[in-house]
Amino acid sequence: MAVKYATRLEVVADQDNLAGLSLRDLEYVVAVADLGNFMRAAERCHVTQPSLSVQIRRVETRLGTVIFERTTRRILVTEQGARLVDQMRKVLVEGRRLLDMALRPKRAFGGALRLSAIATLGPYYFPHVLGDIQKAFPDVSLELGEGKTDDLVYALIRGELDVVLMSAPVTDTQVSCVAIFQEPFRLACRDDHPATTEAGDLWASLKPRERLLLEEGHCLRDQALAACDDVAPDQRQGTSLEMLRYMVAAGEGCTLMPQLATTQVQGMRYLPLPEEFARTIVLAWRKSDPRADDFRALAATLRVSRPSQLIA
């Protein structure tokens, strides 16, 4: 019986062979790392939990590394696993870019667009412009979302989002952006509040305890504090604009409200503020994304279709 012994070059070649890995495998690993749970990761990837677990075991075997430390209560990423997961994210971004480049000549955005906005903008802005986006890009499958600024930028850099509507300034050097519009702020207060009879910088004229803020992570909170950081020691805050609106209606204080979110509520008023109380909304995408021309076309569409109460 003939026995064949692999040479060192053949062994190295086998180790370098990527045939045992797929982008789908990497997506499984990244999903578990993100969610810390095999069941939720399987739901995200639209596979059964046993199938996902088996495939991740195969990836660990193929790489000769334990990526996840499994306990009865939680899933932990090992130190070496964390380095591999970071690299997998980069590979997935490049893989999506490959598909984008291949599909781009046929359809705008490669046929699909994942567009998200900061939570203080999306629910109030998207209804105004969704129809115009669909008319301008009829062959594009659109996925909308919302979130806090840092979370959206993080998802954008990781390739989980294509483009984001957010408030300037954008400081991440990996991101390109263009301005879409300016949105003024109004002071939301009850009809019987003394501010209704005053003028000028009403936000600064409030007592510290009357200034209601959004929770940490919202850029609107930072803008409110930049205008006046004298707030109550207990940092009275709400989790969303709607919660702040309820607090104002209940007589808990006053808050800054973006123009698009100034829905009418009985017993409440929205008072004008000086011109500097405004935010610039930009459309942001990764500098490395080859679809920059498509994003600029989207920006042009959004500028034309902006709601009438906004500033160009």
Continuous segment of H or E residues that includes residue 185: strand 175-190
pLDDT mean over 172-180: 94
pTM over 0.85: no
Residue 37 has pLDDT above 80, yes or no: yes
Query: CATH second-level architecture of 8-101?
Result: Orthogonal Bundle (1.10)
* CATH 3.40.190.10 segments of the chain: 109-167+286-304, 182-278
Q: What is the separation of C-alpha 212 from the centre of its chain, rounded to a whole number of angstroms?
A: 24
The count of other CB atoms within 10 Å of the CB of residue 241 is 25
- Residues near 263 by beta carbon (within 8 Å), at least 6 away in sequence: 245
Please, what is the angle between helix 38-45 and helix 23-35, to 10°? 130
Percent of the chain surpassing pLDDT 70: 87
Could you tell me the fold of the domain covering 109-167+286-304? D-Maltodextrin-Binding Protein; domain 2 (3.40.190)
Residue 231 has pLDDT above 80, yes or no: no
On average, the pLDDT of the chain sits at 84
How far apart, in whole angstroms, are the C-alpha atoms of residue 54 and residue 62? Answer: 12
Greatest extent of the chain over all pairs of C-alpha atoms, in Å: 101
pLDDT bucket at 18, cuts 50 / 70 / 90: low
**Contact at 8 Å (CB) between 110 and 103?**
yes
pLDDT digits (tens, 9 = 90+) for 50-79: 999 999 999 999 898 999 998 777 888 999
Residue 201 has pLDDT above 80, yes or no: no
Residue 5 has pLDDT above 60, yes or no: no
What is the distance between the terminal CA atoms of the chain, rounded to a whole angstrom?
Answer: 82
pLDDT mean over 201-230: 78
Percent of the chain surpassing pLDDT 90: 46
pLDDT in the model for residue 9: 37
Residue 117 has pLDDT above 90, yes or no: yes
Residue 309 has pLDDT above 90, yes or no: no
CATH pick for 182-278 out of 3.40.190.10, 3.40.640.10, 1.10.540.10, 3.30.450.90: 3.40.190.10
